Amino acid sequence: MSNAARILNPALRSKIMSADEAAALITPGANVGMSGFTGAGYPKAVPLALANRIDAAHARGEPFRIGVWTGASTAPELDGALAKVNGFAMRLPYQSDPNCRKQINSGEMEYTDIHLSHVAQYAWFGFLGHLDVAVVEVAAVLEDGRLLPANSIGNNKTWLDQADKVILEVNSWVNAGLDGMHDIYYGTRRPPDRRPVPINNPGDRIGDRYYTIDPSKIVAVVETDSRDRNSPFTPPDANSKLIAGHILDFLAHEVRRGRLPRNMLPLQSGVGNVANAVLGGLIEGPFEDLTAYTEVLQDGMLDLIKAGKMRFASATAVSLSPDAALAFNNDAQEMKKSVILRPQEISNHPEVIRRLGIIAMNGLIEADIYGNVNSTHIGGTAIMNGIGGSGDFARNAFLSIFMTPSTAKNGAISCIVPMVTHVDHTEHDVHVVVTEQGLADLRGLSPKQRAKVIIENCAHPDYKPALREYFTRALEESPGRHTPHLLDEAFRFLPEWKAQQASRAAE
Amino acid sequence: MSNAARILNPALRSKIMSADEAAALITPGANVGMSGFTGAGYPKAVPLALANRIDAAHARGEPFRIGVWTGASTAPELDGALAKVNGFAMRLPYQSDPNCRKQINSGEMEYTDIHLSHVAQYAWFGFLGHLDVAVVEVAAVLEDGRLLPANSIGNNKTWLDQADKVILEVNSWVNAGLDGMHDIYYGTRRPPDRRPVPINNPGDRIGDRYYTIDPSKIVAVVETDSRDRNSPFTPPDANSKLIAGHILDFLAHEVRRGRLPRNMLPLQSGVGNVANAVLGGLIEGPFEDLTAYTEVLQDGMLDLIKAGKMRFASATAVSLSPDAALAFNNDAQEMKKSVILRPQEISNHPEVIRRLGIIAMNGLIEADIYGNVNSTHIGGTAIMNGIGGSGDFARNAFLSIFMTPSTAKNGAISCIVPMVTHVDHTEHDVHVVVTEQGLADLRGLSPKQRAKVIIENCAHPDYKPALREYFTRALEESPGRHTPHLLDEAFRFLPEWKAQQASRAAE
């Protein structure tokens, strides 16, 4: 399909222009809502052109920075390019780009890390300021001006509704055969006019196939023809397979105890190799007729669908390896029988997550012995990526599982610590912590009971003695013994213990 | 009305017995689900008799402890009495009793602090173990065996459904004229069979007036005739009035900006004097036709109803001063036109809270400069009460407001700190922090932007220089500058700064 055939509306055809011309419509200080979620469906031409424009302005000594709101993470062509030219005044609600992260952690740009289900409503409520421009990738423009979405939905509906001006990127690489995969819910309202979101099963369709937009707002249409920048997944390592094994054993145990149906409940899975290993494990496992209600479709979920193990998957975006992305695009007609892409306010809606009873599986940076989880900060001060949808899912899930290797940096750091340096998921929201060492089932336990199972089941043997020592001493010396802590040592305990061990070994 | 007229079902009349006889039916190690929420509707006789029984067993050298699950806090006759005899093996999901707190913080009993909306479903999911006995206060037993609830619902429906054996306390002090005030929703299911909770307005009735129960499970009926133990509210102090003023100014500002309807959105308010001051302020304020969708009806809300300012209030319990409780009981027929009491899984349901768009106002113990809130722990180790419903409301609210005097202990402690010692509400869940000093609107702000407004608007002048110094030094020395911190000093900074000031002053 040529680009021409992708832009059927005559009025919008007349607005076709180059990315440079379109980028010239974005002014310094603007808030710009862009498409893009986990590296899928981000605009591929205008942000690069805009970065050049900003760079040139800076070279002339003119200030030029913008606020950028997206669905979630994008790609080097967007976050990377704009960060490199110091083009961000403010970024929200999620990023995972090395250059962007560097800018945030050097204090050169502001970053607001928001639950992904909250973003669209905050824009509607007027909590984020005014949205000046939207830059949204779509797969096609219909004759009547409606828009066929591409490989992610994210907050596109809201950006298209809210922005004063809209720049479309029409990407002819995306197979137009995915027409019918999307479900754009136009039933959201601002309180007090909200009504139930009528999803009772992951496969329920409640919206439209297309974005509807006032065509007079569209100021530019840019043609593109390039695929999403996908990263290959490395095959699961031994630790990922062990973690997957513990989770599958636990789920099988829950079925035997009658606490889970034989076909589970809808799965949510964070992105990454551990998550893919769990999904890979399910292919071998005894569970049939699975469903997913999640943010992102990964390779592992498509494999489950192809293997006939998963009946249906609902998400807001795909995030696939290059080969899987190619296959997904080629098989769009077939895939849409088992896949729905929704706006992220619906894929991550607390109401729907609680109703469906999701089994939520998310990664973490560190967990403490009392079950608090840090998902976002290195050393309590530097952002890694952001909370993403983990809070939407963990708080409202049927089962909230957090998984991590027990150590990082080749064993130099324990991911189980006395006290996390930043809290994203509180002790109230974490049912299960699992590492390659084992699984801690925290349901119904008091803090001290949690500490015992987390240390004994999850900590790496190299750090278990230190954590036991901390907990034992805290039990004796802590002013309060509900959550015993030695505040003066909480953050230093493990590094100092490790240094002692090393110096003893050197003697 | 005599007790006899309160127990119309003949089969259940035959089960009338003394509290001692009923307490004898509870065996060591049992899990017991009791009624009671914020000091309303707790059983008044059986727990005292049970405490005596436990005390006697201990005197004989026999072990006797039980697990107690409630709605929320109860009263000295329940939590106090059982804690005094060391009768708790495990307590959940909330308490506020001094003796109970002492036992928890000395490490002598286990306490599991759970979001109040999660408790009933955890019981249904089998996450909390087996429920052996329910001890529930009701206002009457109907001829067909259905039960008229009393002044709180809490988790009573779930305890009555789930327990093997049920002990009823029928309290004839409670005005049976409140028949019609309650709304017991029997539409909850376990996933995958859940459907939307059909509440679109605080006043929507979706359930039954009575508890339905299999009468064969009822092993004892105990007659009581005493009122809930209510604490008087002290009149709002100057700080509470200042906090209320800042909140009312802010709400008026939001109306002017078009972000709130003129009659607001449904209010949720934590318990306490600051909360009551805010409600008192609303009586004087410009807002009409208010509603509440909250956990607890306090004096302030009843005053709003009586003043014609509030049209409707939905809660799971009343928590009134002695005078207001008496008036409420006397006026039950009138009050039920404007008041609904629901199960706490519905009063606190994330789905309904998000749909209605609640204005949530909750207290805190300490907030940090980045907007993280500690609601539960003193010094990070000792429990105060528990998270209660604050997480249900804050995470899902339209506006999530946290309020506190800027200092505690007569100014000896700053409630605004560099880093909270325990996190119950993360930076992602706090829109507004307000003290008597002023209000910090954190919506859309990055951590560093939040720090500036929290320090400048909310901190007490005595601590502002120290907090500024911490933030400035953290900006320079922190390894990451997304959330700048000096981890080695974060918990000690204010006390050490204060000691320095004192020693300088003494020189």
pLDDT, tens only, B44-97: 999 999 999 999 999 999 999 999 999 999 999 999 999 999 999 999 999 999
In which band, very low, low, confident or very high, does the pLDDT at A1 lie, cut at 50, 70 and 90?
A: very low
A492 Cβ under 8 Å from any chain B Cβ: yes
Residue A77 catalytic?
no
Distance from CA of B200 to the nearest CA of A (A): 6
Is a pLDDT exceeding 80 seen at residue A456? yes
What is the rounded distance in angstroms from the CA atom of residue A441 to the CA atom of residue A250? 9
Q: Length of chain B, please? A: 507
Contacts of A128 in chain B (CB under 8 A): 443-444
Ramachandran class of A444: left when φ > 0, alpha when ψ lies in -120 to 50, beta otherwise: left
A385 a known binding residue?
A: yes
B409 a known binding residue?
A: yes
pLDDT, tens only, A223-273: 999 999 887 778 889 999 999 999 999 999 999 999 999 999 999 998 888
pLDDT, tens only, A21-60: 999 999 999 999 999 999 999 999 999 999 999 999 999 9
Q: What is the pLDDT of residue A345?
A: 98
Kindly state the average pLDDT of the residues B417-443: 98
What is the rounded distance in angstroms from the CA atom of residue A282 to the CA atom of residue A288? 9
What is the rounded distance in angstroms from the CA atom of residue A267 to the CA atom of residue A261? 13
Query: For A351, which of B112, B350, B491 is closest by C-beta distance?
Result: B350
Domain parsing of chain A, residue ranges: 3-224, 238-464
In the numeric block, which tokens belong to residue B159?
Answer: 């305890």
Distance of CA A403 to the CA centre of its chain: 15
Q: Length of chain A, please? A: 507
Is a pLDDT exceeding 50 seen at residue B147? yes
Is a pLDDT exceeding 90 seen at residue A466? yes
Q: What is the pLDDT of residue A5?
A: 85
Question: In the 8-state DSSP scheme, what is residue B409?
Answer: T
pLDDT, tens only, A398-431: 999 999 999 999 999 999 999 999 999 999 999 9
Query: For B191, which of A356, A429, A446 is closest by C-beta distance?
Result: A356
In which band, very low, low, confident or very high, does the pLDDT at B356 lie, cut at 50, 70 and 90?
A: very high
In the numeric block, which tokens belong to residue A171?
Answer: 């990407």
pLDDT, tens only, A101-147: 999 999 999 999 999 999 999 999 999 999 999 999 999 999 999 99
In the numeric block, which tokens belong to residue A141?
Answer: 């423009």
ipTM > 0.90 (yes/no) = yes
Contacts of A446 in chain B (CB under 8 A): 90, 110-112
Could you tell me the pTM of the whole model? 0.98
| Contact partners, residue B144, CB within 8 Å, separation at least 6 | B9
Is a pLDDT exceeding 60 seen at residue B2? no
pLDDT, tens only, B459-495: 999 999 999 999 999 999 999 999 999 999 999 999 9
Per the model's pLDDT, the better-predicted residue between B39 and B235 turns out to be B39
What is the DSSP secondary-structure string of B467-507?
Answer: HHHHHHHHHHH-S-SSS---TTTTTTHHHHHHHHHHHHHH-
Is a pLDDT exceeding 80 seen at residue B156? yes
Ramachandran class of A61: left when φ > 0, alpha when ψ lies in -120 to 50, beta otherwise: left
Q: How much of chain B exceeds pLDDT 70, in percent?
A: 99
Contact B428 A395 (CB under 8 A): no
Q: What is the pLDDT of residue A505?
A: 87
Contact A480 B381 (CB under 8 A): yes
- Give the chain B residue nearest A129 (alpha carbons): B444
The CATH class of B238-464 is alpha beta
Q: What is the pLDDT of residue A3?
A: 59
Q: Tokens 């690069």 identify what position?
A: A48
What is the rounded distance in angstroms from the CA atom of residue B503 to the CA atom of residue B494? 14
B119 a known binding residue?
A: no
In which band, very low, low, confident or very high, does the pLDDT at A328 lie, cut at 50, 70 and 90?
A: very high
Find out if CATH 3.40.1080.10 is the number for domain B3-224: yes
In the numeric block, which tokens belong to residue B241?
Answer: 């009035």
- Give the chain A residue nearest B119 (alpha carbons): A444
Kindly state the average pLDDT of the residues B237-264: 96
What is the rounded distance in angstroms from the CA atom of residue B426 to the CA atom of residue B368? 10
Kindly state the average pLDDT of the residues A197-206: 98
Is a pLDDT exceeding 80 seen at residue B410? yes
What is the rounded distance in angstroms from the CA atom of residue B36 to the CA atom of residue B117? 15
**Nearest residue to B365 (alpha-carbon basis) of B278, B495, B270, B461:** B270
CB A137 within 8 A of CB A171: yes
Helices (H), A257-377: 273-284, 299-306, 322-330, 332-335, 344-347, 350-356
Q: What is the pLDDT of residue A163?
A: 98
| Contact partners, residue B368, CB within 8 Å, separation at least 6 | B416, B417, B418, B419, B420
Q: What is the pLDDT of residue B3?
A: 59
CB B74 within 8 A of CB B156: no
User: What is the count of residue pairs from A and B with beta carbons less than 8 Å apart?
Assistant: 240
Q: Tokens 């490490």 identify what position?
A: B107
Q: What is the mean pLDDT of chain B?
A: 96
Q: What is the pLDDT of residue B1?
A: 41
Contact A195 B487 (CB under 8 A): no
Q: What is the pLDDT of residue A507?
A: 79
What is the rounded distance in angstroms from the CA atom of residue B281 to the CA atom of residue B301? 11
